[in-house]
């Protein structure tokens, strides 16, 4: 059973469907590209579904996205804020506060196709070579662009802003779960997918996406503080009305 979460954190389905229209070509390229990673790993990758299936799931509202989720709520529904800004589970994508739609949604849509973890969700088991390379910290020769690399020689990881040492440990530990990531399906290719989708978004839609906030009914704490600061004007009702209008306009809604 999926975790219970306030439906006001749900992204408007029409926005998700519009995003999907722009994301489809990148998702298709990602699916084909990851399928070709079999030469570097212990089996043939097998996407969990087609891109057409993903689009259908979004259109039928089977696939849902929740965003702006408070940290405590994120932990309650199974997220680990020390390891992730978002996660995909079943038919739902959960994005916590301070991790934006732009930074996370494309990555998580990649999990409609593949998992990070070796032997799960379409990602192959580790080959013996990969297992040894993970243990040795990337010192075995490899021409894979996603293979493990020694931090002292290759400190940067294309597709992430974090360093190689952190990235290697994240793959070994499976982001703290104890079930290792397949390096060919770790964070980097999913982050590159996210960037590819962002590059396809029209500037107008990208701006719209950056301004979308959860559909919360009450003014936020800052709004309430502003209201109290303005109570001396003798028209608290009008001040509150204006604050709500501003808040609604900020996420594309109407009063």
**HEC readout, the chain:** CCCCCCHHHECCHHHHHHHHHHHHHHHHHHHHHHHHHHHHCCCCCCCCCCHHHHHHHHHCCCCEEEEEECHHHHHHCCCCCCCCCEEEECCEEEEECCCCHHHHHHHHHHCCCCCCECCCCCCCCCCHHHHHHHHHCCCCCCCCCCCCCCCCCCCCCCCCCCCHHHHHHHHHHCCCCCCCECHHHCHHHHHHHHHHHHHHCCHHHHHHHHHCCCCCCCCCHHHHHHHHHCHHHCCHHHHHHHHHHHHHHHCCCCC
What is the Cα–Cα distance from 111 to 108, expressed in whole angstroms? 5
pTM: 0.83
Q: How confident is the model at residue 198 (pLDDT cuts 50, 70, 90)?
A: very high
- Mean pLDDT check: name the lowest of 38-52, 166-180, 212-226: 212-226
Residue 242 pLDDT greater than 90, yes or no:
no
Structure tokens at 156: 């940067």
Residue 240 pLDDT greater than 70, yes or no:
no
Residue 241 pLDDT greater than 70, yes or no:
no
List beta partners, residue 69: 96
Determine the pLDDT at residue 245.
Answer: 55
Mean pLDDT of 228-234: 42
Contact (CB, 8 A) for 47 and 114: yes
Q: How confident is the model at residue 215 (pLDDT cuts 50, 70, 90)?
A: confident
Mean pLDDT of the residues in the chain: 88
Residue 124 pLDDT greater than 60, yes or no:
yes
Determine the pLDDT at residue 249.
Answer: 55
pLDDT tens profile 57-86: 999 999 999 999 999 999 999 999 999 999
Residue 41 pLDDT greater than 70, yes or no:
yes
Mean pLDDT of 230-246: 48
Determine the pLDDT at residue 246.
Answer: 57
């Amino acid at each position: 059973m999926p975790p219970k979460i306030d439906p006001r954190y749900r992204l408007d389905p029409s926005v998700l469907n519009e995003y999907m229209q722009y994301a489809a070509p990148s998702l298709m390229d990602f699916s084909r590209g990851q399928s070709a990673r079999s030469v570097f790993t212990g089996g043939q990758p097998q996407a969990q579904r087609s891109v057409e299936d993903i689009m259908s799931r979004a259109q039928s509202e089977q696939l849902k996205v929740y965003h702006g989720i408070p940290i405590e709520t994120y932990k309650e529904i199974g997220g680990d804020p020390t390891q992730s800004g978002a996660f995909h589970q079943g038919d739902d994508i959960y994005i916590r506060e301070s991790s934006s739609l732009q930074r996370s949604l494309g990555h998580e849509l990649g999990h409609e196709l593949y998992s990070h973890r070796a032997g799960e969700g379409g990602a192959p088991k580790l080959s013996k070579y990969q297992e040894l390379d993970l243990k040795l910290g990337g010192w075995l020769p490899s021409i894979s662009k996603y293979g493990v690399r020694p931090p002292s020689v290759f400190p940067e990881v294309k597709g992430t802003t974090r360093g190689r040492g952190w990235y290697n440990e994240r793959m070994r530990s499976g982001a703290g779960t104890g079930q290792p990531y397949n390096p060919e399906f770790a964070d980097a290719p999913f982050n590159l997918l996210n960037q590819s989708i962002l590059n396809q978004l029209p500037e107008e839609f990208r701006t719209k996406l950056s301004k979308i906030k959860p559909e919360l009914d009450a003014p936020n704490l800052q709004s309430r503080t502003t209201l109290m600061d303005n109570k001396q004007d003798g028209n608290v009702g009008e001040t509150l009305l204006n604050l709500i209008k501003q808040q609604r306009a900020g996420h594309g809604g109407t009063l």
